[in-house]
Structure 1
Amino acid sequence: MIQALKPKKAILMLIMFTMLLALFAAGGVQRASGAAAQFKLKALFNIDAESGTYEGDAAHSFTFDVDLKDGLQTVDIPVSVLKTLVDGKLGSIAIVPAEAAMDEEGEIVNGWPESKDALYVDQMSVGGMKLFTNEAQRPFQFLNFANEDDPYYTYTINGIITKKCGVSDSKCIAYSVAGSAGASWMVFNDPIDLAGMTDKDKLKFQIDLSSVNYDNWVPAASKKQPSVNEAPPATVEIGPGKTYENINDFAWETLKAGDVVYIYYRPEPYREKIGIFAEGTKEQPIIIHGVPGPGGELPKIDGSGAVTRALNPIPNANRSLVRIGKDSKKAAYVTFENFEVLNAHASKKYVNASGAGASYAVNAAGIWIDNGDHVTLRNNTIHDNGNGIFGTSSMYVWEGALIDYTSKDLLIQGNSIYGNGNIGRMFEHNSYIAAIGTVYENNHYGDLLAGSQGYGLKDRGAGTVVRYNWIEGGRRQIALDDAEDTPRIVFDKAYNSSFVYGNLLIEHDHLFDTWGDDEIINFGGDNVTVPDRHGTLNFWNNTVVTYRQQRVYGQDGVPGLKDPGRTERTVLFYAPGKHVDARGNVFHHAGANPAPLVITDDDGTIELRNNWFSEGYYYDFNEPDRVPAKNMGTLTGVDPGFVDVTLGVQNYKLKADSALIDAGAGLNGSLGELLQKQYVLHQQSEKRPDQGKPDIGAFEYVKK
Structure 2
Amino acid sequence: MAGASRLHHLLRVGFALTLAVVFTSVSQGTLNASAFPSACTNQTGTVYEVGDGQPYTSIGAVPFDTLQPGDLVRIHHRATPYREKIAISTSGTQAAPICMVGVAGTNGELPVIDGENATTSDSMFYDYDGMQERALLIVMGQEWGEQPAYIHIEGLHFKNAYEDYTFTTANGQVRNYTSNAAALMVQRGADITLTGLAISDSGNGFFAASSGDAEQTVRNLTLQYSYIYGNGTDSDQHHNIYTESNGMIIQFNRFGPTRSISGGNNIKDRSAGTIIRYNWIETGAHLIDLVEAEDGYDLLSQNPNYDKAWVYGNIMISPENSLTGRNMIHFGGDLGGEEEGNSTVCGFGGGQDPTECYRKGPLYFYNNTVITEVNQEGDGSYCCSKTYFRLQTDEQSIEVFNNIFHVVSLGNETWVSYMNRRGQANFGVNLLKPATNMAEFYNQEGPNSEVNGLGNLIVLGAGEEIGFVNEAAGDYHLLVESLAVNSGAPITGADLLPIPFEYLVHQGSIARIDDGSIDMGAYEQGDNPPQVTNTPQATGTAQPTGTAQATGTAGAPTATPTPPATVDPLLNLLSNGDFETDSDLDGQPDSWVAKEFAGDKQKCNKDTNDDGVVDKIFALQGSCAYRFKSGSLENSKLEQIIPNSAITTGDTISVSGFVYPKGEVDVAVKIRVKYVDTTLEKGKITLKVTTPTTAYVPLSGTLTLPIVGEVASFKVKLQNRGASGKVLFDALAVVKTASRSSGLSGQ
What interval of TM-score do these two structures reach, taking the shorter chain for normalisation? 0.5 to 0.7
Q: Select between 291-300 and 527-536 the one with higher mean Cα deviation.
A: 527-536
Tell me the amino acid that sits aligned with residue 415 of structure 2.
P
Matches within 5 A, 1:589-604: 589-593=407-411, 595-604=414-423
Matching residue of 1:362:
179
SS at match of 1:438: strand
Whether the 8 Å contact between 2:320 and 2:373 is mirrored in structure 1 is yes
Matching residue within 42, 54, 58 for 1:242: 54
Q: Distance in 2 between matches of 1:645 and 1:459?
A: 30
Residue 568 of structure 1 and its aligned partner are, at CA, apart by 2.8
Whether the 8 Å contact between 1:584 and 1:695 is mirrored in structure 2 is yes
Matches within 5 A, 1:693-704: 693-702=517-526
The reply on whether 1:525 has 2:317 as its aligned counterpart is no
Change (3 A) 1:565 1:698: closer
Q: Distance in 1 between matches of 2:304 and 2:228?
A: 30
Matching residue within 480, 496, 500 for 2:311: 500
Matching residue within 256, 261, 278 for 1:446: 256
Tell me the amino acid that sits aligned with residue 439 of structure 1.
I
Matching residue of 2:681:
none
Matching residue within 475, 478, 496 for 1:651: 475
Change (3 A) 1:242 1:652: same
Listed as ranges, the gaps of 5+ residues in structure 1 are 1-213, 397-402, 556-563
SS at match of 2:122: coil
Deviation by residue 1:534-578 (Cα, 9 ceiling, x = unmatched) = 1200101001111131247xx8xxxxxxxx953632111111321
The reply on whether 1:390 has 2:390 as its aligned counterpart is no
SS at match of 2:60: helix
Residue 631 of structure 1 and its aligned partner are, at CA, apart by 4.2
TM-score, normalising length: structure 1: 0.63
Matches within 5 A, 1:168-567: 216=11, 219=15, 220-221=18-19, 222-223=22-23, 224-225=25-26, 227=35, 230=38, 231-232=41-42, 235-314=47-126, 315=128, 316-326=131-141, 328=144, 329-395=146-212, 404-423=215-234, 425-486=235-296, 487-512=298-323, 518-528=326-336, 529=344, 530=346, 531-551=357-377, 565-566=381-382
Deviation by residue 1:51-108 (Cα, 9 ceiling, x = unmatched) = xxxxxxxxxxxxxxxxxxxxxxxxxxxxxxxxxxxxxxxxxxxxxxxxxxxxxxxxxx
The reply on whether 1:617 has 2:444 as its aligned counterpart is no
Residue 632 of structure 1 and its aligned partner are, at CA, apart by 5.5
Residue 422 of structure 1 and its aligned partner are, at CA, apart by 0.9
The reply on whether 1:608 has 2:427 as its aligned counterpart is yes
Whether the 8 Å contact between 2:386 and 2:415 is mirrored in structure 1 is yes
Tell me the amino acid that sits aligned with residue 393 of structure 1.
S
Tell me the amino acid that sits aligned with residue 174 of structure 2.
G
Q: Select between 290-299 and 690-699 the one with higher mean Cα deviation.
A: 690-699
Whether the 8 Å contact between 1:366 and 1:383 is mirrored in structure 2 is yes
Whether the 8 Å contact between 2:89 and 2:125 is mirrored in structure 1 is no
Larger Rg: 1
Whether the 8 Å contact between 2:71 and 2:97 is mirrored in structure 1 is yes
Q: Percent identity?
A: 30
Matching residue within 366, 384, 390 for 1:574: 390
Change (3 A) 1:383 1:225: farther
Matching residue of 1:640:
466
Matching residue of 2:406:
588
Q: Distance in 1 between matches of 2:466 and 2:246?
A: 37
Whether the 8 Å contact between 2:311 and 2:365 is mirrored in structure 1 is yes
Tell me the amino acid that sits aligned with residue 519 of structure 1.
N
Matching residue of 1:660:
484
Taking only aligned residues, the RMSD between alpha carbons, in angstroms, comes to 2.6
Q: Distance in 2 between matches of 1:312 and 1:441?
A: 30
Matches within 5 A, 1:124-135: none
Matching residue of 1:139:
none
Matches within 5 A, 1:62-211: none
Q: Distance in 1 between matches of 2:381 and 2:282?
A: 28
Whether the 8 Å contact between 1:645 and 1:651 is mirrored in structure 2 is yes
Whether the 8 Å contact between 1:253 and 1:312 is mirrored in structure 2 is yes
Change (3 A) 1:699 1:215: closer
Matching residue of 1:629:
452
Matching residue of 1:160:
none
Change (3 A) 1:468 1:581: same
Q: Distance in 1 between matches of 2:205 and 2:480?
A: 39
Whether the 8 Å contact between 1:691 and 1:702 is mirrored in structure 2 is no
Tell me the amino acid that sits aligned with residue 382 of structure 2.
R
Q: Distance in 2 between matches of 1:375 and 1:582?
A: 31
Tell me the amino acid that sits aligned with residue 605 of structure 1.
Q
Q: Select between 661-670 and 534-543 the one with higher mean Cα deviation.
A: 661-670
Q: Distance in 1 between matches of 2:381 and 2:453?
A: 32
Q: Distance in 2 between matches of 1:694 and 1:319?
A: 45
Tell me the amino acid that sits aligned with residue 362 of structure 2.
T
Deviation by residue 1:378-415 (Cα, 9 ceiling, x = unmatched) = 0000100110000111138xxxxxx9410011010111
Whether the 8 Å contact between 1:430 and 1:455 is mirrored in structure 2 is yes
Q: Distance in 1 between matches of 2:42 and 2:53?
A: 20
Residue 439 of structure 1 and its aligned partner are, at CA, apart by 0.2
Residue 225 of structure 1 and its aligned partner are, at CA, apart by 4.4
Residue 348 of structure 1 and its aligned partner are, at CA, apart by 1.1
Whether the 8 Å contact between 1:232 and 1:260 is mirrored in structure 2 is no
Q: Distance in 1 between matches of 2:419 and 2:98?
A: 45
Change (3 A) 1:434 1:247: same
Change (3 A) 1:229 1:300: farther
Change (3 A) 1:441 1:347: same
SS at match of 1:496: coil
Whether the 8 Å contact between 2:421 and 2:444 is mirrored in structure 1 is no
Q: Distance in 2 between matches of 1:523 and 1:703?
A: 33
Deviation by residue 1:445-488 (Cα, 9 ceiling, x = unmatched) = 00011121110100001010000000111111000000012211
